[in-house]
């Protein structure tokens, strides 16, 4: 049984991270295009700023709280929520606790 928020939260797609070899032979991490995992998560707005004049960039950062059983979740993972693509902006933080309160806390930023 998970917390009420994560049970009744919003649906999102999460692309895990995989290691691939690029054209130069380097090992690089990237979002796995093979297929996303559908998760139910809670989203808490953190900070945002509007682009008011041409040339400025809009910043929209939200905290995503999700089940702890998602494998290969790193900075190079990708999230799709509300029809928009989001990048993970800080390393996911694991919050340990009882089976009901254990979760990942992930800050995501909307892609421009």
DSSP code string of 4-49: HHHHSSEEEEEEPEEEEE-TTS-EEEEE-TT--EEEEEEEEEEEEE
Sign of CA dihedral 43, 57, 112, 104: negative
Tokens read off for 38 = 């559908």
Of 31, 11, 45, which Cα lies nearest the Cα of 78?
A: 31
Cα three-residue angle 65-67-72, rounded to 5 degrees: 100
What pLDDT is stored for residue 24 in this prediction? 92
Q: Does position 39 have pLDDT exceeding 50, yes or no? A: yes
The mean pLDDT of the chain is 81
What pLDDT is stored for residue 2 in this prediction? 46
Q: Containing domain of residue 31, as a range? A: 4-110
What pLDDT is stored for residue 50 in this prediction? 62
What pLDDT is stored for residue 3 in this prediction? 47
> Where residue 100 sits, what CATH number does that domain have?
2.40.10.270
Q: How many domains does the chain have?
A: 1
pLDDT category, 53, cuts 50, 70, 90? low
- CA 51 – CA 37 distance, rounded (Å): 32
């Amino acid at each position: 049984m998970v917390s009420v928020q994560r049970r009744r939260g919003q649906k999102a797609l999460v692309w895990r991270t995989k290691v691939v070899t690029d054209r130069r032979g380097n090992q690089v991490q990237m979002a796995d295009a093979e297929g996303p995992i559908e998760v139910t998560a809670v989203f808490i707005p953190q900070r945002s700023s509007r682009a008011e004049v041409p040339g400025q960039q809009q910043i929209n950062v939200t905290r995503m709280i999700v089940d702890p059983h998602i494998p290969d979740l790193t900075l190079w993972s990708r999230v799709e929520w509300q029809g928009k693509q989001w990048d993970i902006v800080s390393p996911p933080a694991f919050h340990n606790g009882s089976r009901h309160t254990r979760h990942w806390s992930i800050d995501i930023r909307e892609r421009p």
